[in-house]
Amino acid sequence: MSLNRFEAFSDGVFAIAVTLLVIEIKAPDLSQATSSETVAKLLQVFPHVLSYATSFIVIGVIWINHHALFHFIKRVDRTILVINLLLLMCVAFIPYPTALIGEYGTSLPVVVFYGLTLALTGFAYNTLWFYVVRRYITSEKIIHQKTVQKATIWTLSYPISYLVAAGLAFININLSIVLYILIPLFYLLPGIIDKQLMEQV
């Protein structure tokens, strides 16, 4: 399969997933509400908005890394297609736990479920990363080995961070939610993985 067709399909799934996130944000009935009632009802929507923004950034981070990874290869094989489908399946599922945590953000099982979903998505990306590194980047010596090692540690720490955050929910749910917000923001910082990959290009 051509790389352009592969990337176009992947980008389409990412776009649909981030679009589905906003569907769960329902407009409250404000037809007969007073100003104070309007404010109160809008505040009730805030958890949904927060979960939407968090998951949007999560998917955005994966999309950015996905784009950076495939910048260095010119072709894709069947194994990459299968692993990528697994990753896209996880990405497309994210709107469901996002809707749950927006509605039931004080529920321990829901908070843990959200974190485990993001961790699983991160591990799916890692599977793709390791295969591309072994099959293309290392064998064709596209990037210096030390740079690959640094990027691998960085990539692995992403899903592990979500596992830790999910585990902390058993101690403090609010702490887990704060970490769910901070982790993607941290990985959104410009040039973190890209600089590591571009140093030796």
The three-state (H, E, C) secondary structure of 20-84, written as one string: HHHHCCCCCCCCCCCHHHHHHHHHHHHHHHHHHHHHHHHHHHHHHHHHHHHCCCCCCCHHHHHHH
| Helical H segments across 104-172, by residue range | 108-132, 145-168
pLDDT in tens, 96-155: 999 999 999 999 999 999 999 999 999 999 999 999 888 876 665 666 777 778 888 888
- Determine contact, residues 97/117, Cβ cutoff 8 Å: yes
The two tokens of residue 191 are 């040039």
Rg (CA), the chain: 19
Write down the pLDDT at residue 3.
78
Q: Name the pTM for this structure.
A: 0.88
**What whole-number percentage of the chain has pLDDT above 90?**
53
Write down the pLDDT at residue 201.
47
The two tokens of residue 63 are 């999309």
Of residues 197 and 118, more confidence is placed in 118
The two tokens of residue 182 are 């901070």
